[in-house]
């Protein structure tokens, strides 16, 4: 049941991220922040029982890895980045500011999840 809830959140975050790119008054970094939040949620779904700290570290390493991969500009990967899925997943160009947005997106995931854990009733064994 918990995986389902996180999966629903993933789709909500994806929709919000796509909408953020269409509304030109929303700063571009919001989309990057939402992208990192989506990564956090996907990692959470895959590693549902892992501690929040581990999910955050893995999410940041993945997000930073994708951003730094944008420094590599071979023709084959540049062609992939020109497609819509390539743009959405791999991005197009390295920006230091994106790293800050990724930290913010993962931090939101950590804060939301920490808040949800505090609100959950304790289960007795």
Model confidence pLDDT, tens digit, residues 52-86: 999 999 999 999 999 999 999 899 999 999 998 88
**Sequence-ordered list of residues with C-beta below 8 angstroms from that of 62, at least 6 positions apart, any chain:** 39, 43
In the predicted structure, residue 12 carries a pLDDT above the cut 70:
yes
In this predicted structure, the answer to whether residue 1 has a pLDDT above a threshold of 90 is: no
pTM of the model: 0.87
Q: Which residues contact 45 (CB under 8 A, 6 or more apart)?
A: 3, 6, 7, 10
Residue 36: count other Cβ atoms within 10 Å of its Cβ. 29
Q: What is the pLDDT of residue 34?
A: 97
Predicted confidence at residue 121, as pLDDT, reads 63
Cα 104 from chain centre: 10
CA-CA distance, 59 to 57, in Å (whole number)? 5
Residue 114 pLDDT grade (very low, low, confident, very high; cuts 50, 70, 90): confident
Mean pLDDT is lowest, of 34-38, 111-115, 117-121, for 117-121
């Amino acid at each position: 049941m918990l995986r389902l809830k996180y999966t629903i959140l993933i789709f909500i975050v994806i929709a919000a991220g796509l909408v953020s790119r269409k509304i030109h008054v929303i700063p571009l970094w919001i989309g990057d922040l939402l992208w990192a939040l989506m990564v956090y949620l996907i990692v959470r779904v895959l590693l549902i029982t892992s501690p929040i700290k581990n999910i955050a570290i893995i999410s940041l390493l993945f997000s930073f890895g994708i951003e730094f991969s944008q420094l590599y500009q071979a023709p084959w990967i540049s062609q992939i980045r020109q497609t819509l899925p390539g743009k959405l997943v791999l991005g197009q160009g390295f920006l230091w500011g994106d790293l800050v947005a990724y930290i913010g997106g993962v931090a939101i995931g950590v804060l939301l999840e920490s808040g949800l854990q505090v609100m959950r009733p304790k289960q007795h064994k």
